[in-house]
């Protein structure tokens, strides 16, 4: 099956180019640095390189404290942090500036990966969460570069998908040295796909160890002063179509009870701003975007990347998107850390284990439809004690589950030491 994948990926270049062109039209953030996606790196160095790949902003945020610590410990090494999306790239630049090297990860085309490896010459590869690409893993393995996965998560739905290509999945897993899983359910799914007991460990999720930026509170207060005007505020965060429409229909019902209620829409992909504005217009909502001068409107659309944490602090309730249309939900940990009561739809398979921990202590309200959302938000906006209790319960879950960072840090320390020792022995 791997041979078939190699053949198909070789023939896929026109498709990749067409998809890239489409993305560039829809989202101007994809236009810069296109050459990096084909393996042409901007930076080369004689220093030994530790390659860490985090797909998007969430993975970059999760791994950043660990990268920060390691880069301070190993000042003679070069840390290369790659991403796939513009939001991930922006997060790397915002958090690290020039303190780590950064390029986009190459497409999973053999020529692109080979070019990338030649240019960057990493000593080991650490994948954040579960970003498994057959050509990438095969070529890194062939170059005798150890491959590790940290903070790995594998939902039941994703595992079923990998099971359908079992031969290809098993081929990849055999080439990975170690997988540090968030929870036992993920480890069990990897074992069912062919990973061995010795390849797996369970550390918990490093996202529970996220530290909020020192300036976050002040930045949130500034946004509140500019946009909220003291109004009861709720947020629909990381939404996909048609979730903005669902949130706006709920907002109509909420405004019938709370006349000055304010809704902040945070699309998962900010370039969808115009699409979201069309939905607002269709439902008769005056609105603005956060990149414009502040004005008093009933609906605000966040059309900027990298400010979700600041925006979360503006509200008294958050509806977590991706949970009404098949995506599998988005991570509730960041809202919990920010101290905002959480509401979510029933589609949350991407974070089933994490969500269950919040549900068990009534820190996450599960809703079915527009009416459920409206009633939940009205309750949280009008009952401050209930909202506070819910937020406190969520934060306790966060506190109880901290500690994965140190476990992953220790693992990565040992992997880096081993890789550098092996490299030195070969060169000697």
Tens digits of residue pLDDT in 161-180? 999 998 999 999 999 999 99
Distance CA 273, CA 21 (A): 20
Please enumerate in sequence order all residues whose Cβ is within 8 A of that of 16, keeping only pairs 6 or more positions apart, or say none: 107, 109
What single DSSP character describes residue 101? Answer: B
Percent with pLDDT over 90 in the chain:
82
At residue 306, the pLDDT reads 81
205 pLDDT tier (thresholds 50, 70, 90) = very high
Is the pLDDT assigned to residue 115 strictly greater than 90?
yes
Contact indicator for 54, 96 with CB cutoff of 8 Å: no
At residue 426, the pLDDT reads 66
Is the pLDDT assigned to residue 268 strictly greater than 60?
yes
Q: Which of 94, 255, 275 is nearest to 265 (CA)?
A: 275
Instruction: Say whether pTM exceeds 0.85.
Output: yes
Query: Pairing between strand 318-320 and 233-239?
Result: parallel
Contact indicator for 268, 330 with CB cutoff of 8 Å: yes
Question: Is 359 a known active-site residue?
Answer: no
Question: For residue range 390-416, what is the model confidence (pLDDT) as tens digits?
Answer: 999 999 999 999 999 999 999 999 999
End-to-end CA distance of the chain: 39
Please enumerate in sequence order all residues whose Cβ is within 8 A of that of 135, keeping only pairs 6 or more positions apart, or say none: 5, 6, 9, 108, 109, 110, 113
42 pLDDT tier (thresholds 50, 70, 90) = low
Q: Which of 59, 129, 277, 334 is catalytic?
A: 59
């Amino acid at each position: 099956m791997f041979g078939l994948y190699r053949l198909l990926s070789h023939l896929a270049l026109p498709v990749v180019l067409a998809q890239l062109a489409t993305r560039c039209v829809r989202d101007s953030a994809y236009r810069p640095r296109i050459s990096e996606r084909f393996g042409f790196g901007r930076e080369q160095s004689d220093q030994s390189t530790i390659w860490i790949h985090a797909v998007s902003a969430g993975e970059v945020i999760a791994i950043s404290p660990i990268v920060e610590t390691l880069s301070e410990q190993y000042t003679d090494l070069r840390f290369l942090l790659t991403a796939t999306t513009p939001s991930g790239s922006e997060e790397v630049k915002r958090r690290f500036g020039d303190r780590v090297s950064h390029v986009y990860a190459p497409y999973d085309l053999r020529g692109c990966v080979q070019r990338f490896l030649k240019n960057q010459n990493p000593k080991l590869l650490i994948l954040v969460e579960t970003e498994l690409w057959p050509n990438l893993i095969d070529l890194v393995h062939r170059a005798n570069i150890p491959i590790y996965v940290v903070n790995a998560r594998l939902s039941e739905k994703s595992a079923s998908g990998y099971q359908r290509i079992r031969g290809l999945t098993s081929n990849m897993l055999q080439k990975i040295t170690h997988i540090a899983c968030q929870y036992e359910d993920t480890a069990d799914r990897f074992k069912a796909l062919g990973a061995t007991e010795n390849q797996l460990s369970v550390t918990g999720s490093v996202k529970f160890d996220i530290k909020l930026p020192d300036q976050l509170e002040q930045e949130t207060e500034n946004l509140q002063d500019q946009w909220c005007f003291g109004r009861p505020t709720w947020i629909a965060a990381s939404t996909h179509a048609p979730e903005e429409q669902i949130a706006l229909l709920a907002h109509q019902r909420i405004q019938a009870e709370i006349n000055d209620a304010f809704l902040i829409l945070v699309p998962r992909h900010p370039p969808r701003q115009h699409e979201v504005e069309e939905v607002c217009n269709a439902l008769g909502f005056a609105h603005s975007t956060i990149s414009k001068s502040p004005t008093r409107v009933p609906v605000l659309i966040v059309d900027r990347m990298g400010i979700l944490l600041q925006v979360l602090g503006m509200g008294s309730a958050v509806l977590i998107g991706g949970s009404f249309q098949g995506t599998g939900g988005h991570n509730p940990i960041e809202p919990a850390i920010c101290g905002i009561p959480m509401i979510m739809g029933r589609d949350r398979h991407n974070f089933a284990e994490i969500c269950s921990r919040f549900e068990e202590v009534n820190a996450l309200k599960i809703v079915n439809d527009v009416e459920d959302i409206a009633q939940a938000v009205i309750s949280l906006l009008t009952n401050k004690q209930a909202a506070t209790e819910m937020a406190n319960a969520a934060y306790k879950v966060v506190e109880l589950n901290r500690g994965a960072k140190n476990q992953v840090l220790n693992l990565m320390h040992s992997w880096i030491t081993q890789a550098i020792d092996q490299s030195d022995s070969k060169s000697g």
